[in-house]
Amino acid sequence: MAEVIGTSDRVALGAFDGLPVLNVADLDADPHGMFRRYRAAYPFVGHQAGGYLILRHADIERLGNGSGTAASETAHPEMFGVTEGALFDLFEQGMLTANGAVHRRRRSPFSRSFAARTMADLRPQIRRSAEELIESWYADGRVEFVDQFAAQLPARVIGNLLGLPRADIPSFTNLVYSVTRFFSSSIVPDEIPELEAACRGLRDYVEKTLDDRRSAPRDDFLSDFLGKADAAGELSPLEIVFQIVQLIIGGTDTTRVAIVMQLALLLQHREQWDAVCRDPSLVPGAVAEAMRFEPSVASFVRVTTEDIELGGAVLPARQFIILSTMSAARDGDAYDRPDVFDIRRTDQPRLLPAFGAGAHRCIGEALARVELEESLAALAARLPHLRLDEAPVIKGHSGIRRVDSMRISWQP
């Protein structure tokens, strides 16, 4: 069996009897190919870092919805030998990995603020931010798109929502990009001290921002949340800090990668880009198809609470499971011609697997969709003739995926 980096009290790491164990090097080289090959023969396989990879669309929906599963609490950091510190607190104190009443207590203060109707009201403001960014480099006729647009828009949006100064964007986004590396199943133990330092930096930044708001409340989301949270007394000071940390993390890197990939995929399928430029009503379909074809979050995780029968095999209880949204999104049992990028497809499920499932389904989904749609609409309106000079390379097959650079140009 492959090397297992650590173990958790709550979760046994299975011996994967007789199952293939996918190793990180093979997944790095060809993730879609590996998923395609194994998905056809196995509902689940082992992962080199420990934990089972669930591959099929229907199984991911069922297990993600809580059937025989629970949120993973601190199993992920423990698997990598992290049992204290800011990274550990992120998992112990945040909503993402909490169960039952604890999860509801942590998530419910934000549910209304992030509801689809509230987010729709932000459309004009988000469109204006996208247009401002485009105008800031339009006259140059070329731009490195990842840093100058895709990274900026989500950071500005979540920063505006939380009332964070624009000048803080470079520092908090860099901390986020480091911390999100810890959500992957391919972390190398040597990387952990750097990621821990980044998580401490993010926690300290949020703590200081909250202290400032307590001493000088404003008419904004954060002051309102703090006033209510302090009055209700249901969240500990550390829980308050880590819910905001999770919103900043969730709202920054995931959307950055998705903004890059949707533009790159459209430009690589030029006739579909041209169609979006001619007909903006194609924008929501293009966003959904890009999220399916190359999701920015490749997986989400759970633990099994009982033995589960899947496709004729038994997934044992008390196991760490990685639900591969990346594999689900190319499952031929769920999609017609799954390896074809087609913004007009009619078999898109109402709930895209890329946003997770059940009680933990992404709280920022409505916000992310507005950001993705408004940024694409703004780019298509202003830059219909743009050229893709350097395509981004997307890497990663679990947790949040990574992109390098992307260069585009146009005739101003």
Binding part of the chain for ligand HEM, among 194-202, 217-225, 355-363, 402-410 by CB under 6 A, reads: 355-363
Give the nearest distance from C-beta 288 to ligand HEM in angstroms: 11
Give the nearest distance from C-beta 56 to ligand HEM in angstroms: 17
Give the nearest distance from C-beta 260 to ligand HEM in angstroms: 11
Torsions phi, psi for 323 (to 5 deg): -90, 110
Distance between CA atoms of residues 297 and 285, nearest Å: 19
Inter-residue contact 191 to 133 (CB < 8 Å) = no
Nearest to 339 by CA among 28, 30, 26: 30
- The reply on whether position 149 binds ligand HEM by CB under 6 A is no
By beta-carbon proximity to ligand HEM, the closer residue of 43 and 251 is 251
Binding part of the chain for ligand HEM, among 178-186, 196-204, 211-219, 243-251 by CB under 6 A, reads: 243-251
DSSP alpha helix (H) spans, 302-406: 325-328, 365-382
By beta-carbon proximity to ligand HEM, the closer residue of 178 and 262 is 262
By beta-carbon proximity to ligand HEM, the closer residue of 16 and 356 is 356
Inter-residue contact 119 to 113 (CB < 8 Å) = no
Inter-residue contact 328 to 302 (CB < 8 Å) = no
- The reply on whether position 51 binds ligand HEM by CB under 6 A is no
End-to-end CA separation in angstroms for the chain: 57
- The reply on whether position 283 binds ligand HEM by CB under 6 A is no
By beta-carbon proximity to ligand HEM, the closer residue of 316 and 358 is 358
Among 142, 361, 382, 407, binds ligand HEM (CB under 6 A): 361
- The reply on whether position 202 binds ligand HEM by CB under 6 A is no
Q: How many residues does the chain have?
A: 412
Query: How is residue 214 written in tokens?
Result: 């307590």
> Which residues does residue 400 pair with via DSSP β-bridges, in sequence order?
297
Give the nearest distance from C-beta 141 to ligand HEM in angstroms: 29
Amino acid at position 156, single letter: R
Query: How is residue 11 written in tokens?
Result: 């979760």
Distance between CA atoms of residues 387 and 401, nearest Å: 24
Instruction: Give 221's Cβ-side CA count (13 Å radius).
Output: 17
Binding part of the chain for ligand HEM, among 36-44, 233-241, 248-256, 278-286 by CB under 6 A, reads: 248-256
Nearest to 242 by CA among 376, 32, 86: 86
- The reply on whether position 355 binds ligand HEM by CB under 6 A is yes
- The reply on whether position 64 binds ligand HEM by CB under 6 A is yes
- The reply on whether position 225 binds ligand HEM by CB under 6 A is no
- The reply on whether position 396 binds ligand HEM by CB under 6 A is no
By beta-carbon proximity to ligand HEM, the closer residue of 124 and 193 is 124
Q: Name the residue with tokens 């890009």.
A: 290
Q: Name the residue with tokens 């980044």.
A: 198
DSSP alpha helix (H) spans, 233-387: 237-268, 270-278, 283-293, 325-328, 365-382
By beta-carbon proximity to ligand HEM, the closer residue of 186 and 254 is 254
Among 57, 360, 401, 402, binds ligand HEM (CB under 6 A): 360
By beta-carbon proximity to ligand HEM, the closer residue of 46 and 251 is 251
Among 134, 264, 354, 406, binds ligand HEM (CB under 6 A): 354
Query: How is residue 23 written in tokens?
Result: 């190793």
- The reply on whether position 254 binds ligand HEM by CB under 6 A is yes
Q: Following DSSP, what letter does each residue of 23-85 receive, concatenated? A: -HHHHHH-HHHHHHHHHHH-SEEEETTSSEEE--HHHHHHHHTTTTEE--TTHHHHHTT--SS
- The reply on whether position 367 binds ligand HEM by CB under 6 A is yes
Among 368, 377, 383, 403, binds ligand HEM (CB under 6 A): 368
Distance between CA atoms of residues 367 and 384, nearest Å: 25
Distance between CA atoms of residues 254 and 252, nearest Å: 6
Among 235, 241, 362, 406, binds ligand HEM (CB under 6 A): 362
- The reply on whether position 187 binds ligand HEM by CB under 6 A is no
- The reply on whether position 76 binds ligand HEM by CB under 6 A is no
Among 300, 315, 335, 343, binds ligand HEM (CB under 6 A): 300
- The reply on whether position 251 binds ligand HEM by CB under 6 A is yes
CA-based Rg of the chain, rounded to a whole angstrom? 21
Interaction with ligand HEM in 85-104: which residues (CB under 6 A)? 95-96
Interface residues with ligand HEM (CB under 6 A) are 64, 95-96, 107, 114, 246-247, 250-251, 254-255, 258, 296-297, 300, 354-358, 360-364, 367-368
